[in-house]
Amino acid sequence: MMLVLLTSITCRSQSWQKTAQGIKTGIDSIAVELRFYDASTVRILKGPGGKITEKESLSVIKTPQSTAFTVGQKGNLLILKSEKIRVSLNLQNGQLEYSDAAGHPLLREDEKGASFTPFNDAGVNTWSVQQSFALDKEEGIYGLGQQQGGKMVQRNLSLHMVQGNTDDYIPFFQSVKGYGVFWDNYSPTNFTDNTTSTTFRSEVGEGIDYYFMYGGHADGVIACMRDLTGQAPMFPLWTYGFWQSKERYKSQDELVGVVKKYRELGVPLDGIIQDWQYWGSNYLWNAMEFLNPEFYNPQKMVDDIHNQKAHLIISIWNSFGPQTKPYRELDKIGALMNFPTWPESGSEKWPPNRDYPSGVRVYDPYNPAARDIFWKYLHAGLLSVGIDGWWMDSSEPDHLGAKPGDFDQKTWLGSFRKVRNAFPLMTVGGVYQHQRAISAAAGKRVFILTRSAFAGQQRYGANTWSGDVTSSWNALRNQVSAGLNFSLCGIPYWNSDIGGFFLNRFPKKLDDPEYRELYVRWLEFGAFCPMMRSHGADAPREIYQFGQKGNKVYDAIDKYINLRYRLLPYIYSTSWEVTAGQSSMMRALMMDFAKDKNAWDINDEFLFGKSLLVSPVTRPMYIKKVAGGRDSSNVEDFSSVKSKEVYLPEGANWYDFWTGESFTGGNKISTATPLDIIPLFVKAGSILPIGPQVQYAEEKKWDQLEIRVYPGADGSFVLYEDENDTYNYEKGAYTTISFQWNDKKKELMIHDRKGAFPGMLEGRKFHIVRVNNQKGVGADTAVTPDQVITYSGKKIVVKL
């Protein structure tokens, strides 16, 4: 057995060994090791001085599986083959090339693309490491986290990858050719793509460590990445409703009053968010206690919100003021770092008075004892009163005026430089793992809203938002590509501050008609993101701040909040596809239409689930400038209906969601965009479940669902249901109902229900609608069903 696993062969003075997982060799004093993790994924390790230093990955949790592969040699080439991929290693220069099983080229390293430069990392002699690749000239690649540059295809750019407020960096990209590359390094990293090469260069690394994976298509690559770094658990149903927030509610009466007002207006709402300062002064920063006297009875506050059938999540940070209990306990074990962070002053006044420094310090989440302390106070001070989830602000964390010496500071895992970019992964993971572990919370799903992320964070029940973006049309447009590229890294849950955080570009704030139009368009986009959340500074954003019923802006906001709720059966079923099938909720067009080159680089359209094509309006249409004295001002102008050009990808036909009109794919069309219409199209062959009108997600059972069939192609859909907010689905407590449309026979087959859970519907009615050009089917339109079917869990065939 050992002779088989450790065969030694000599070729031109180059020897290599076959191992249980791959091969080992040395080329020009560089140790090289290839390890198959499965038939689709191979890990590449390179070490200087002929030595490979093992590390325990912070992102990768998969261990190598027993994988069948062969090794053969042809001249200077060592060729490894698994069922899915072929890897060729040039034994003279160390260059690696990757192909699919049929031998079609996918990716190759630059001939001299690996380099190691000696580096002193806070007194530790190590290396700066670099690996370059050669991509096809017109190859589209995606991912690298979230940036605000508005680019869909991530070519011809340079990124200095250090986590920031509005930029989340993940050293991973995937290609339209169906492969992905994960550079497993956590230090500040430069990614560069130009006409010469595509390169990762990291400041600190004991060696080169990256993974090549082949999925055949975008979903397959994401499946590989999640298999490697962790699967995404289910969120509660209520998290997919509408969320209201602002910077900040200053008392519990104000907070509870917002929920009450929504209920009085009959506008759906599932969540309210309490931002910072409920703890009191900056010296008490993030005490995880209600020390502000305006929050005089936290238990009553939470109960009042719950009694109105809403949920509360609350702001927590990764830093602590010097007068807090967590600070003192963390300081005793040396688990506080010392670099400038927010807030800079003990005073809340702006600008900060640096004569009175806040003394706030970031904690060390790499230290397991520090994560224990963090959770202890979070549990005692906030979970104990029934808070439903966590808003982890500054999870990158805030690092103001960063200086090189700041990165020399020691963490539990070495210098801060060495592990810098994994900070959000560690701090979010600490909260998730602790909450999953305690019996008191075992039945309630963890929900974390966080400002930053790193590879693997999808396994921690977290939804990332895009940070404190500015309120502008350009910022709105940039959110689309930011969210899509983030999702293409395998992390499926993302959102943005609806309306933008800072209103500094609109001095008149909500009185500016252009801002009101921007807010509506952002909210329309937000209705098709994994979380629909209104938030911002400088002015409140509740719906009643924009007028009342009959006002165009108010009515448009109301319309899309209600549309969100009617789509909940589709959204929740899609979330199950994310968990069980490694799918993505926000889908770049290239994911489903990789053969259509015209779809590769579109940065203002996407699919929400696999049926709905969304094209957000990202420019003003209904304002005009009116001169007035020394200044000009904006006024509303609805005298004519404007339009937007939309590209419908080739490979499918499409229906206008609002009118039922059908279109052939592969064409651009002009579609009318009044203020309350976002271009929204449904792929032919789709089966779309529409839920009831409700005031909150769980108000009504789904016993009278409308099932819309969009003919023109065969199609299917799986309706998923469970207990909505427990982990019993992991034990099989859920049901699925599969719908299948045969376009030639004009038959809808509703299959036997599979599974069971306590409280499930034993019987229900499906209102079947076959969409056509004559039938208006917008969510706010009454639709006469073609048939009403009573379903008791047994297979039914419906002829349409």
One domain for residues 112 and 247: no
One domain for residues 70 and 208: yes
pLDDT in tens, 731-775: 999 999 999 999 999 999 999 999 999 999 999 999 999 998 765
17: β partners: 8, 24
Mean pLDDT of 523-547: 98
Of 645, 646, 651, 668, residue with least CA distance to 596: 651
One domain for residues 200 and 269: no
Kindly report the CATH number assigned to the domain that includes residue 335: 3.20.20.80
- Amino acid 626: pLDDT: 84
Tell me the backbone φ, ψ of residue 717, rounded to 5 degrees. -155, 145
One domain for residues 477 and 443: yes
Contacts of 511 (CB under 8 A, 6+ apart): none
Among 556, 587, 614, the domain boundary falls at 614
Residue 741 lies in a domain: no
One domain for residues 466 and 508: yes
- Amino acid 544: pLDDT: 98
Among 614, 640, 657, the domain boundary falls at 614
Among 586, 614, 642, the domain boundary falls at 614
Length of the chain: 800
| Residues tagged active-site | 393, 396, 468
pLDDT in tens, 541-552: 999 999 999 999
Write the secondary structure of 351-365 as one string of H (helix), E (strand) and C (coil).
CCCCCCECCCEEECC
- Cα gap 453→146, rounded to integer Å: 9
Give the DSSP H/E element, type plus range, for residue 690. Answer: strand 687-690
Q: How would you class 8 by CB atoms within 10 Å of its CB: exposed for 0-12, middle for 13-18, buried for 19 or more?
A: exposed
In contact, 616 and 476? CB cutoff 8 Å: yes
Residue 403 lies in a domain: yes
One domain for residues 191 and 270: no
What share of the chain in percent tops pLDDT 90? 93
Sole residue written with tokens 């004093």: 29
Residue 628 has pLDDT above 70, yes or no: no
pLDDT in tens, 689-723: 999 999 999 999 999 999 999 999 999 999 999 99
- Amino acid 443: pLDDT: 78
List Cβ<8 Å contacts ≥24 apart for 666-673: 666/596, 666/598, 669/645, 670/643, 670/644, 670/645, 670/646, 671/615, 671/643, 671/644, 671/645, 671/646, 672/641, 672/642, 672/643, 673/617, 673/621, 673/641, 673/642, 673/643, 673/644
Of 651, 555, 747, residue with least CA distance to 217: 651
pLDDT in tens, 187-246: 999 999 999 999 999 999 999 999 999 999 999 999 999 999 999 999 999 999 999 999
Query: Predicted confidence band at 404 (pLDDT cuts at 50, 70, 90)?
Result: confident
* CA distances for 218 relative to 62, 595, 712, angstroms: 20, 12, 25
Q: How would you class 294 by CB atoms within 10 Å of its CB: exposed for 0-12, middle for 13-18, buried for 19 or more?
A: middle
Beta strands 157-161; 141-146: pairing state: unpaired
In contact, 518 and 499? CB cutoff 8 Å: yes
- Cα gap 480→291, rounded to integer Å: 39
Buried b (16+ CB within 10 A) or exposed e, 584-606: bbbbbbbbbbbebeebbbbbbbb
One domain for residues 374 and 499: yes
Residues of the domain holding 482: 237-614
Least confident range of 112-121, 454-463, 669-678, 700-709: 112-121
pLDDT in tens, 424-464: 999 999 999 999 998 645 579 999 999 999 999 999 999 99
Residue 381 lies in a domain: yes
The 3-state DSSP class for residue 326 equals: helix
Please state, rounded to an integer, the average pLDDT across all residues of the chain. Answer: 95
Of 196, 229, 197, residue with least CA distance to 213: 229
- Cα gap 333→363, rounded to integer Å: 11
In contact, 82 and 39? CB cutoff 8 Å: yes
One domain for residues 126 and 261: no
User: How many Cβ atoms are within 10 Å of 54's Cβ, its own excluded?
Assistant: 9
In contact, 686 and 660? CB cutoff 8 Å: no
Query: Predicted confidence band at 113 (pLDDT cuts at 50, 70, 90)?
Result: confident
Write the secondary structure of 83-133 as one string of H (helix), E (strand) and C (coil).
CCEEEEEECCCCCEEEEECCCCEEEEECCCCCEEEEEEECCEEEEEEEEEE
Residue 6 has pLDDT above 60, yes or no: no
Residue 226 lies in a domain: no
Beta strands 242-244; 208-214: pairing state: unpaired
pLDDT in tens, 557-590: 999 999 999 999 999 999 999 999 999 999 999 9
Residue 350 lies in a domain: yes
Residue type, 294: E
In contact, 312 and 274? CB cutoff 8 Å: yes
- Amino acid 39: pLDDT: 98
One domain for residues 114 and 249: no
- Amino acid 775: pLDDT: 59
In contact, 636 and 513? CB cutoff 8 Å: yes
- Cα gap 502→97, rounded to integer Å: 47
Residue 744 lies in a domain: no
Mean pLDDT of 364-390: 98
Number of structural domains (the chain) is 2
- Cα gap 22→19, rounded to integer Å: 5
* CA distances for 346 relative to 250, 316, 349, 397, 497, angstroms: 18, 18, 9, 19, 27
pLDDT in tens, 46-91: 999 999 999 999 999 999 999 999 999 999 999 999 999 999 999 9
pLDDT in tens, 252-272: 999 999 999 999 999 999 999
- Cα gap 412→367, rounded to integer Å: 5
- Cα gap 93→95, rounded to integer Å: 6
Contacts of 398 (CB under 8 A, 6+ apart): 165, 319, 341, 342, 362
- Cα gap 14→2, rounded to integer Å: 21
Residue 683 lies in a domain: no
- Residue 714, CB-side half-sphere exposure with 13 Å CA sphere: 5
One domain for residues 123 and 198: yes
One domain for residues 11 and 49: yes
Q: What token pair was written down for 692?
A: 């009831």
- Amino acid 782: pLDDT: 64
Residue 789 lies in a domain: no
One domain for residues 186 and 280: no
Kindly report the CATH number assigned to the domain that includes residue 198: 2.60.40.1760
Q: What token pair was written down for 195?
A: 């006409």
